[in-house]
Amino acid sequence: MHKLTIPIPDEDIRALHIGDTVFLNGIIVTGRDAAHKFMIENYIRQPVSSEQAELYEEIKQLLDGGVIYHCGPVVKQHEDGRWSFVAAGPTTSIREEVYQPEVIAHFNLKGVIGKGGMGPNTLKACREQPAVYFHAIGGAASLIAQSVKEVVTVHKMEFGVPEAMWVIRVEDFPVVVTMDSHGQSIHEQVETQSKEKLGQLLAI
């Protein structure tokens, strides 16, 4: 079991291997399809405009050595204007495969949280960065929300609550490493084994 504080140093990432349980502490940022597309189109594949410069610098600082969470939270706004997470379960990550390697490299990301794993391009980016993919437990949204101790702020609310970029402070956020910086992927292994089993069944 590992306890890691964000931002995470490279040596701590390299010390992780698939199957390791990790408890994350610090600031993480949620981001799904709209957020990844926005970052690619406005920050990565073209020069940052003056209108986007302030937000870019803030996001860059948050993600440098940091973690992005594929999550569409259920939130509650209190009378004083504060937000809190009611449910914070992971969403399927593979949709971000077309964006994730560039986001990892550009922002020096050290971790991606989601469910279901990602593809070979993200695995390659994890090896080069280094970074890891953290699997969060699907179906435990309310339990995971208990690890979210504070909603620091929210960006791009115009995308809608699930797609907005929520900046949250977490304590002992439970995850499992399923893609590491050494080129190992539990998801890849499962896919290979499934194909082999399918081949055996079809040969019968």
106 is annotated as an active-site residue: no
Listed residue (56, 57, 75, 64) closest to 27, CA to CA: 64
Listed residue (66, 38, 31, 67) closest to 162, CA to CA: 31
Q: Which of 2, 17, 36, 155 is catalytic?
A: 36
From residue 88, how far is each of 11, 80, 85 by CA, in Å? 29, 22, 6
Spell out the long-range contacts of 52-59 with Cβ–Cβ below 8 A and sequence spacing 24 or more. 55/155, 58/155, 59/29, 59/107, 59/155, 59/165
Q: Which are the catalytic amino acids?
A: 36
